[in-house]
Chain A
């Protein structure tokens, strides 16, 4: 509860959003001797509480269920019904999930910590599709290294090497070994030219950062019960040890501009509906790729009639995610998925090639989620009971395989977030999302469907169920809305992650990515946040 008499309301750097991106940047800035004030819309979150909430939960298939929603900081929720916070304008659904609370959305992710590959930065030059980044892989590489150390990433090894992403430093920890199921599938998928590798994960393979090694609780989503998987609260806590001033339950609704169109203050409303103002020399916006957009669009003033950083109406555009399709089946041998981390391996030799000029590349995650509840719900509803049910659950759970692919969305300016007229309980506008899939993605689906069929065949699959063309689920990799680029007419920030229009405003997190590529975005989002922090440090000298 902020009290302007006792809490400092000013710092060298004001960071908005206490997630992985904000937390990692705060650590870096504090180590360089800058003072940091961090504002978080939601409340502090506690691991024990989240574990308890999960185990008590009635909707265990909803990864958002354990996360309390504060009335002043609502988040989208779609199970059991759409809570109407994120208004879907279509034509395709964009059912984003994110957490507003200290630590952010990395409290419930699968921990996959991929780097992009060099070609991902040059889609337009190489393939005539999408856009080129204003920076190269090599320029981002040092920040990838920093992000991996901050988060504790395990990866590489004999099978995977550098995954096609050249490295100047070894992985902080050795790669986690593949589960038995994945070893078996690896061998069988090889026969159809698909290479299943152990993935890089922000998950301890040995004790690291005073946190234990993964012991396979298979609950990465929604909550790692032992803290072996990284989440943003770990960086925030480290930053607090370094002197971070964190104010939670602080919903920023306006960035105030001043002379030279510099940001002079951030205004927030707290849980008692009282309004406060903090000032800083530099501002770093890391409130995820949707809420950051909302703040910018709300910050209209005479200098910035379209909102802060939005002179060219690019904020919130180019909304991307990784559309996902899936196949589930029963293999012809017991595999025992559900043992180990949820997403320890994937097929990656499909993520780059000349074909990217014609259709989306893809990557296939082999899922290791315990399928018991999913299968049991199905079979109970079908009318099974007794020993027949028990035997079927056991037998099918032993053989169950779920593959999920991700495709590369293109940065379409018409896919965007805008403010709605509807307001939440604290009077803050909700968001509308406009979203559609291009043919580029559907053509990727077609190729993926063949790969899926090959996988099924290679492992003697039965009871096969494919998801439909055009019916893709959301992967929670929100990108593009704060795109980095050299042309202000098609981007929001420059190669320093600095707003084109505002000298002291910087962005971090996945929204800065101008292309989605084929991998989970978190590591790149954190690396970009560290790049932004570096820009601030250089500007502070």
Chain B
């Protein structure tokens, strides 16, 4: 802070301000410290008489399903919950932990309080702070009964003696105690309470969306230090995937019916509109598909009630854009050459040779192979997910039925860019354009 020096009054004023500043700093420090102290208090719930046994474990299994623990805590499908999943961050690489009951590499030696503390406070055994890759920022809302149940269920998980690799976080991000300061700014510890005046169904939905299913961890934008921002469920950026706005405006899910939303959560697919891919495909496959229908309806009821993000009038609907492609006859008559090595390879040739087989020459789809026009990913203003789907494909297994789209990573950056731009122009939001450089970043 610049000040004129020199006058006695100025110096006195400066001294006063300095003392004031110090006082504020100390107060802030004490305030911060108290928040840090408070956040570190594990509220270990106490079991009520009769609360226990098989019923509690069963409830815990349902809580674990809804919280989708297995998705992040498994890297080898034959070793569930044994950890080892990689999370690449700008600050280094994290691996999920082994949460089986193994006493050496898992959580076999954890007390109940240490388990609850990990889940709801982000504080593990021996006060070790967890990175918010573990979404304790959402799980903190978990009710006491659910927390007790989850502990009971975790205690039944077969011990697997598997040690995940060590994290490779760069300094100073490998200093876990520093997470306390991150938590100061980005974490509000505490149980999620029902909102008065809302129905039981709404509250159940709110609890599932905000706490257990932790939808906001993907669907809410983050601030500059990766804490969750305030535009709740208005869309989040996962780098190679974009989690869309799921509030009620046209840019969100305003143009979907309740039944479509329910169907999407339950199966990952809504005919003509949407097909879950990437992380959402996993969420459906591992978690949402297994929830009772009543829970899914509750989540829909809650999502429906979210005010539309931004200015709904100016945001185009993600669905219902684009039209059928009618250029195949003309294309065939010109029998264009397909040179796989050329970055100038035409979009329509590529579309016909690579996409039309399953998606039909017009893009209307066949059987389970989706229709392209009207699709909510092609209708978005952001091209990330279309490009990611082309580069990575789609894989989902729900109710024994497998859905699979191969990857087209064999196409060059320029080819993917040309094809994507065409797909948007023809079948979706015609303003979206994709460059080769953007594709390269998404590989």
List chain A positions with a Cβ less than 8 A from chain B. 46, 48-49, 51-53, 55-56, 206-207, 210-213, 215, 217, 225-227
Which residues in A have their C-beta under 8 angstroms from that of B369?
A: 215
Q: Is A48 in contact with B350, judged by CB distance below 8 angstroms?
A: yes
A49 touches B406 (CB 8 A): no
**Residue of chain B at shortest CB distance from A44:** B340
Establish whether residues A48 and B357, one from each chain, have CB atoms under 8 Å apart when the complex forms: no
Of B246-254, B295-303, B331-339, the segment with at least 4 beta carbons within 8 Å of chain A is B331-339
Q: A51-B353, A207-B395, A225-B357 are in contact. Are A56 and B332 (CB under 8 A)?
A: yes
Tell me the residues in window 4-45 of chain B with beta carbons closer than 8 Å to chain A beta carbons: none
A263 to B404, CA, bound (A): 46
**What is the chain B residue whose CB lies nearest that of A206?**
B402
User: Which of A52, A56, A226 has a CB less than 8 Å from the CB of B406?
Assistant: A226
A-B contact pairs, 5 of them (CB 8 A): A48-B350, A51-B354, A51-B357, A210-B407, A226-B358
Mark contacts of B363-381 with chain A using CB atoms, 8 A cut-off: 1 yes-contact digit, 0 otherwise: 0000101000000000000
Residues of B contacting A206 with CB < 8 Å? 402
Expressed in whole angstroms, the minimum distance between the Cβ of B400 and any Cβ of chain A is: 11
In contact, B407 and A56 (Cβ under 8 angstroms) = no
**Contact partner, B404, options A52, A212, A217, Cβ 8 Å:** A212
User: Shortest CB–CB separation between residue A1 and chain B, in angstroms?
Assistant: 13
- Docked-complex contact B353 and A49, CB < 8 angstroms: yes
**A217 and B406 within 8 A (CB):** no
Please, which residues of chain A bring their CB within 8 A of the CB of B294? none
The answer to whether A52 touches B402, judged by C-beta atoms less than 8 angstroms apart, is no
A113 → chain B, closest Cβ, in Å? 21
Interface centre among A48, A55, A212, A225 (most CB of B within 10 A): A48
B184 contacts partner chain A, Cβ-Cβ < 8 Å: no
| From B338, B358, B367, B407, contact of A53 by CB (8 A) | B338
B203 proximal to A (CB < 8 A)? no
Q: Looking at the assembled complex, report how far the CB atom of A235 sits from the nearest CB atom of chain B, in whole angstroms.
A: 16
A454 to B211, CA, bound (A): 69
> Top 4 A-B pairs ranked by shortest CB distance?
A46-B340, A52-B338, A56-B335, A48-B353
Q: Are B358 and A215 in contact (CB under 8 A)?
A: yes
Most buried by A among B395, B402, B404, B407: B404
Collect the chain B residues with CB atoms within 8 Å of residue A211's CB: 406
Give Cα distance in the complex from A83 to B108, angstroms: 74
Query: 1/0 per position for B393-414, CB-CB distance to A under 8 A?
Result: 1010000001011110010000
Residues of B within 8 A of A215 (CB): 358, 367, 369
Q: Given the complex of chains A and B, what is the CA–CA distance between A56 and B367 in angstroms?
A: 26
Q: Which of B336, B340, B393, B402 has the most CB of A within 10 A?
A: B340
Q: A56 — which chain B residues lie within 8 A by C-beta?
A: 332, 335-336
A52 to B352: give the CA distance in the assembly, Å.
Answer: 8
Q: Give the chain A neighbours of B407 by CB distance below 8 A.
A: 210
Q: For residue B404, which residues in chain A have a CB less than 8 angstroms away from its CB? A: 207, 212-213
Chain A residues whose CB sits within 8 angstroms of the CB of B367 once the complex forms:
215
Min CB distance A95 to B, Å, is 27
Most chain A Cβ neighbours within 10 Å, of B338, B367, B393: B338
Q: Does residue B349 face the partner (Cβ distance < 8 Å to A)?
A: yes
Q: How far is the CA of A46 from the CA of B408 in the complex (A)?
A: 12
Minimum CB–CB distance from B269 to chain A (whole Å) comes to 16
- Give the complex CA separation of A211 and B354 in angstroms: 14
A56–B350 CA distance with the chains assembled, in angstroms: 13
Cβ contacts under 8 Å, B349 to chain A: 52
Given contacts A53-B338, A56-B335, A207-B395, contact A227 B352 (CB under 8 A): no
A217 touching B338 in the complex, CB below 8 Å, given contacts A56-B332, A212-B405: no
- 16 further A-B contacts with Cβ under 8 Å, apart from A207-B395, A215-B369, A227-B406, are A46-B340, A46-B410, A48-B354, A49-B340, A51-B354, A51-B357, A52-B337, A207-B402, A207-B404, A212-B404, A212-B405, A215-B358, A215-B367, A217-B357, A225-B353, A226-B357
A49 to B338, CA, bound (A): 5
Could you tell me the distance between the alpha carbons of A207 and B393 in the complex, rounded to whole angstroms? 12
In the complex, A210→B350 CA distance in Å? 21
Task: Check B340–A48 contact: CB distance below 8 A.
Answer: yes
Q: Which residues of A contact B405 (CB under 8 A)?
A: 212
Chain A: minimal CB distance from B339 (Å): 7
Bound: A49/B357 CA distance, A: 13
The residue in chain A whose Cβ has the minimal distance to the Cβ of B328 is A55
A48, A207, A212, A225: the one contacting B338 at CB < 8 Å is A48
B370 → chain A, closest Cβ, in Å? Answer: 13
The CA of A56 and the CA of B335, in the complex, are separated in Å by: 5
Q: Which residues does chain A contribute within 8 Å of B332, judged by CB atoms?
A: 55-56
Closest CB-CB distance, B441 to chain A, in whole Å? 22
* C-alpha spacing A501/B338, complex, angstroms: 46
Q: In the complex, what residues of A have CB within 8 A of residue B393's CB?
A: 210
Q: How far is the CA of A541 from the CA of B407 in the complex (A)?
A: 39
B281 to chain A, nearest CB (A): 13
Give Cα distance in the complex from A177 to B347, angstroms.
Answer: 36
A211 vs B352: C-alpha distance when bound (angstroms): 19
Docked-complex contact B353 and A210, CB < 8 angstroms: no
Residue of B nearest to A211 (CB): B406
Give chain B residues whose Cβ lies under 8 Å from the Cβ of A212: 404-406
Q: How far is the CB of B420 from chain A (nearest CB, A)?
A: 15
| Chain A residue nearest in CB terms to B408 | A48
Q: Are B357 and A213 in contact (CB under 8 A)?
A: no
Report Cα–Cα, A49/B346, bound state, in Å: 12
List, in ascending order, chain A residues with CB within 8 A of B350's CB: 48
Q: How far is the CB of A195 from chain B (nearest CB, A)?
A: 30
Closest chain A CB from B26 CB (angstroms): 59
Which residue of chain A lies nearest to B411 when distances are taken between CB atoms in the complex? A48
CB-CB under 8 A from B353, the residues of chain A are: 48-49, 51-52, 55, 225
Shortest Cβ distance from A227 into chain B, in angstroms? 6
Q: Measured between C-beta atoms, what is the minimum distance from B340 to chain A in Å?
A: 4
CA gap between A215 and B354 in the complex, in Å:
15
Contact between A213 and B402, CB atoms less than 8 A apart? yes
Minimum CB–CB distance from A347 to chain B (whole Å) comes to 30
Chain A residues within 8 Å of B340, by CB: 46, 48-49
Q: Which residues of B contact A55 (CB under 8 A)?
A: 332, 352-353
CB distance B402 to A49 under 8 Å? Answer: no
Give, as a whole number of angstroms, the nearest-CB distance from A161 to chain B: 24
A55, B351: Cα distance in complex, Å? 13
B347 to chain A, nearest CB (A): 12
Measured in the bound complex, the distance between the Cα atoms of B410 and A52 in whole Å is: 16
A226 cross-chain contacts in B, Cβ below 8 A: 357-358, 406
B243-275 CB mask vs A (1 if < 8 Å, else 0) is 000000000000000000000000000000000
* Complex Cα gap A251–B410 (Å): 26
Q: B172 → chain A, closest Cβ, in Å?
A: 37
Inter-chain contacts of A51 with B (CB < 8 A): 338, 353-354, 357
Measured between alpha carbons, how far is A507 from B407 in the docked complex, in Å?
35
How far, in whole Å, are A213 and B406 apart by their CA atoms in the complex?
Answer: 10
Q: Would A210 and B354 count as touching, CB distance under 8 A? A: no
Bound together, the chains give a CA A225 to CA B340 distance in angstroms of 15
Report the bound CA distance from A212 to B359 in whole Å.
Answer: 14
CA distance A56 to B334 in the complex (A): 9
Q: What is the distance, in angstroms, from B83's C-beta to the closest C-beta of chain A?
A: 25
CA distance A92 to B407 in the complex (A): 46
**Which residue on B lies nearest to A208, using beta carbons?**
B404
Q: Tell me which residues across on chain A come within 8 A of B410, comparing CB atoms.
A: 46
In the assembled complex, the Cα of A363 lies from the Cα of B100 at a distance in Å of 55
Chain B residues lying within 8 Å of A46, measured Cβ to Cβ, are 338, 340, 410
User: What's the Cα separation between A226 and B352 when bound, in Å?
Assistant: 12
Complex CA–CA separation, A226 to B336 (angstroms): 20
Query: Shortest Cβ distance from A238 into chain B, in angstroms?
Result: 14
Q: CA of A46 to CA of B412 in the docked complex: distance in angstroms?
A: 13
Give A212 to B394 CA distance when docked, in angstroms.
Answer: 10
Q: Which of A55, A211, A226, A227 has the most CB of B within 10 A?
A: A55
What are the residues of chain B within 8 A of A53 when measuring CB–CB?
Answer: 338
Give the distance in Å from the alpha carbon of A226 to the alpha carbon of B395 in the complex: 15
When distances are taken between beta carbons in the complex, the residues of chain A under 8 Å from B354 are: 48, 51
Chain A residues lying within 8 Å of B402, measured Cβ to Cβ, are 206-207, 213
What A residues does B337 contact at CB under 8 A? 52
Interface string of B284-306 (1 = CB under 8 A from A): 00000000000000000000000
